[in-house]
């Protein structure tokens, strides 16, 4: 047996002897799926990698084991899960999966549900990191995905170590910042500090630790870029979970300590990035951009392992310079037509206009045809429902005492839900007639006349004696899509430009002002 084979066997024993972290459960279903895939001797690494990346703890376990196997990885750090699977080899990988499945602890009840929630947020942060990386440095997309998986490791550790109070905090619907404060004041448990402390106990690359340490310095360009991308992705995911993603939109001021400042994107790039991140975080739309792919590798292939873990040698330089002399008297021969076997790529697909753009174009045509406020607003409400993405739309009028907001006209799925809104909350956007867009929320809002958790509201200059606002929502969903918000804003901008120049009163189908 060769020394290399001896090394592989010793690593296998090392993996068997090393006890994985036993406080946090790994995803047992993922382990069972991996073992099922491993039943096929020709299983592809990509399939295994996809399953592993569903669970940050499972990912961390394999990175820890692979980076401890220095005699296989050639002393190089392993940062991606795919390289970790290749470094361990099929036999060691299977053994580790079986051990994890048998020895992992289990959470029960609400703790298990919240652990699943944190796994989902971790995957969101990972994909958001890869999206941002494409705008910063395409080559870092896979590394940023892997590092981003651990953005909520501190939250998972808190759930494992202080299960009962953390479950209580999450049941109350507290924001992450509020939970962070309570953990710090009650248990002196800091999410970032505990994340770094735990990662340092594992044999993982320094780049993985530094990316989650806000105070880390003296990093090389690659580590700095990964850190900026991953921490920026965490800002976007936190904002989406807390229903304040709009505050991170283009044109909004960026706080001094925000790592989004370090991305160094142009305004156009940031607008495109925000649009893509919003589409993913709110609707699950993810445009995966792949580089030119190689042939798929087998998990058992030693040649692939060498290709993944060894650098490609530079071509040797020629020792002597060859001088070529051309003879001017040589007769020219006709050139032969050389046909390439390369197949030309298909033409790029023309980008299709968004539904909101088509709807807006139709509305603009209608605006040009109508000459009074009454008809324009009536038709607009109909079009927001029939041709737009909205489920309900209404005109809200605030009474002169500012104690009541009444939906004087409503369209869509109104039913018996339409009620007047009592303006008892001093911060209500209806009371101050402020523009308000709630893009994500799981709680019904008292500011909405229909109790919808997500909605859009904005004042319009309709020439009425009392304040008037336009309202729209997409039904009792937790998400108001980016397309819907874009359409609503553009419609409001156009209305406030053309309504002051038109005659007529707002349409009114209910309320105390009908006969006035």
Q: Write the DSSP string, 387-400.
A: TSS-SEEEEEEE-T
pLDDT tens digits, residue range 183-210? 999 999 999 999 999 998 887 888 889 9
CB 130 within 8 A of CB 148: yes
CB 395 within 8 A of CB 492: no
412, containing H or E segment = strand 404-412
On whether both 370 and 273 belong to a single domain, the answer is no
- Pairing of the two strands 436-438 and 421-422: unpaired
pLDDT tens digits, residue range 239-282? 998 888 989 999 889 998 899 999 989 999 999 999 999 988 88
Nearest to 192 by CA among 160, 216, 222: 216
Residues 492-498, mean pLDDT to the nearest whole number: 84
Residue 324 lies in a domain: no
pLDDT of residue 187: 92
- 20 pLDDT band, cuts 50/70/90, is very low
pLDDT of residue 176: 92
Residue ending a domain, among 243, 262, 283, is 283
On whether both 34 and 156 belong to a single domain, the answer is yes
On whether both 151 and 242 belong to a single domain, the answer is yes
**448's tokens:** 């909405």
pLDDT of residue 355: 63
pLDDT of residue 508: 83
Residue 175 buriedness (CB in 10 A; 0-12 / 13-18 / 19+): middle
- Quick count: other Cβ atoms within 10 Å of Cβ 206? 14
Residue ending a domain, among 238, 258, 283, is 283
Residue 474 has pLDDT above 60, yes or no: yes
On whether both 189 and 53 belong to a single domain, the answer is yes
User: Which stretch, 67-81, 109-123, 402-416, 450-464, has highest mean pLDDT?
Assistant: 109-123
Report the domain count for the chain: 2
Residue 314 lies in a domain: no
pLDDT of residue 318: 45
* Eight-class DSSP state of 326: -
Residue 510 lies in a domain: no
On whether both 108 and 209 belong to a single domain, the answer is yes
On whether both 82 and 224 belong to a single domain, the answer is yes
pLDDT of residue 354: 59
On whether both 126 and 22 belong to a single domain, the answer is yes
Phi, psi of 398 (to 5 degrees): -95, 130
Residues 71-88, mean pLDDT to the nearest whole number: 74
On whether both 491 and 394 belong to a single domain, the answer is yes
Q: Where are the alpha helices (DSSP H) in 175-311?
A: 176-187, 191-200, 206-210, 221-241, 267-283, 302-309
Q: At what angle do helices 109-136 and 267-283 cross, to 10 degrees?
A: 150
Residues 432-458, mean pLDDT to the nearest whole number: 73
pLDDT tens digits, residue range 358-416? 788 888 888 888 888 888 898 999 999 888 888 888 888 888 777 888 888 888 877 65
Least confident range of 86-95, 98-107, 293-302: 293-302
pLDDT of residue 67: 83
On whether both 126 and 35 belong to a single domain, the answer is yes
- Quick count: other Cβ atoms within 10 Å of Cβ 174? 15
Residue 386 lies in a domain: yes
pLDDT of residue 19: 47
CB 80 within 8 A of CB 142: yes
Residue 458 lies in a domain: yes
162 lies in which domain range? 3-283
pLDDT of residue 514: 57
Residue 299 has pLDDT above 60, yes or no: no
First to last CA, the chain: 99
On whether both 118 and 264 belong to a single domain, the answer is yes
Nearest to 460 by CA among 414, 385, 393, 411: 393
**For 515, how many CA atoms within 13 A lie in the half-sphere containing its CB?**
1
pLDDT tens digits, residue range 221-233? 999 999 999 999 9
pLDDT of residue 73: 46
Hey, is 461 helix, strand or coil?
coil
Residue 335 lies in a domain: no
% of the chain at pLDDT higher than 70: 75
Residue count of the chain: 516
On whether both 374 and 475 belong to a single domain, the answer is yes
pLDDT tens digits, residue range 314-345? 444 444 444 444 444 445 455 455 444 444 44
Residue 516 lies in a domain: no
On whether both 261 and 157 belong to a single domain, the answer is yes
d(CA 41, CA 47): 13
pLDDT tens digits, residue range 50-60? 999 999 999 99
Alpha-carbon separation of residue 320 from 316, 317, 323 (angstroms): 12, 9, 9
pLDDT of residue 21: 54
Residue ending a domain, among 283, 309, 333, is 283
Residues 275-290, mean pLDDT to the nearest whole number: 73
d(CA 257, CA 378): 47
d(CA 212, CA 256): 18
More confident residue, 177 or 329: 177
Residue 512 lies in a domain: no
Hey, is 351 helix, strand or coil?
coil
Output the domain CATH number for residue 409.
Answer: 3.30.450.40
pLDDT of residue 115: 93
Hey, is 383 helix, strand or coil?
helix
Average pLDDT, the chain: 78
Chain center to CA of 495: 33
């Amino acid at each position: 047996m060769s020394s290399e084979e001896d090394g592989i066997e010793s690593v296998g024993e090392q993996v068997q002897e090393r006890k994985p972290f036993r406080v946090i459960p790994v995803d047992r279903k993922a382990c069972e799926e991996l073992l099922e895939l491993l039943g096929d001797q020709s299983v592809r690494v990509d399939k295994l990698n996809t399953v592993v990346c569903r669970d940050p703890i499972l990912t961390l376990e394999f990175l820890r084991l692979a980076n401890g196997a220095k005699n296989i990885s050639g002393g190089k750090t392993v940062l991606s899960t795919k390289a970790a699977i290749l470094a361990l080899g099929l036999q060691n990988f299977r053994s580790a999966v079986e051990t994890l499945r048998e020895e992992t602890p289990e959470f029960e009840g609400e703790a298990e549900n919240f652990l699943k929630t944190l796994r989902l947020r971790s995957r969101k942060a990972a994909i958001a990191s890869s999206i941002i990386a494409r705008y910063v440095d395409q080559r870092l997309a896979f590394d940023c995905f892997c590092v981003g998986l651990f953005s909520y490791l501190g939250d998972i550790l808190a759930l494992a170590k202080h299960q009962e109070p953390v479950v209580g905090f999450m049941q109350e619907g507290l924001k992450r910042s509020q939970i962070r404060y309570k953990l710090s004041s009650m248990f002196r448990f800091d999410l970032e500090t505990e994340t770094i402390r735990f990662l340092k106990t594992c044999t993982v690359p320094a780049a993985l630790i530094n990316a989650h340490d806000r105070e880390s310095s003296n990093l090389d360009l690659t580590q700095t870029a990964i850190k900026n991308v991953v921490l920026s992705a965490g800002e976007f995911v936190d904002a989406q979970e807390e229903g304040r993603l709009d505050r991170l939109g283009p044109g909004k001021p960026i706080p001094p300590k925000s790592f989004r400042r370090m991305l160094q994107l142009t305004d156009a790039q940031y607008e495109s990035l925000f649009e893509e991140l919003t589409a993913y975080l709110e609707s699950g739309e993810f445009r995966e951009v792949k580089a030119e792919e190689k042939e798929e590798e087998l998990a058992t292939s030693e040649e692939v392992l060498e290709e993944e873990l060894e650098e490609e040698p530079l071509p040797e330089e020629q020792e002597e310079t060859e001088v070529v002399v051309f003879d001017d008297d040589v007769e020219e021969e006709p050139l032969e037509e050389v046909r390439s076997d390369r197949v030309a790529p298909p033409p790029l697909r023309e980008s299709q206009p968004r539904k909101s753009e088509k709807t807006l174009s139709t509305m603009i045509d209608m605006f040009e045809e109508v000459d009074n406020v009454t008809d324009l607003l009536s038709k607009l409400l109909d079009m927001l429902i029939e041709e737009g993405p909205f489920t309900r739309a209404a005109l809200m009028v605030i009474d002169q005492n500012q104690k009541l907001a009444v939906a004087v006209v409503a369209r869509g799925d109104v039913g018996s839900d339409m009620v007047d809104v009592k303006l008892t909350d001093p911060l209500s956007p209806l009371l101050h007639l402020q523009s308000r867009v709630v893009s994500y929320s799981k709680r019904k809002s008292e500011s909405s006349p229909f109790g919808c958790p997500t909605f859009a509201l904005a004042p319009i200059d309709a020439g009425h004696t009392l304040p008037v606002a336009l309202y729209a929502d997409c039904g009792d969903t937790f998400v108001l899509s980016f397309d819907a918000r874009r359409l609503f804003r553009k419609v409001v901008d156009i209305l406030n430009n053309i309504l002051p120049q038109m005659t007529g009163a707002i349409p009114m189908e209910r309320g105390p002002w009908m006969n006035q």
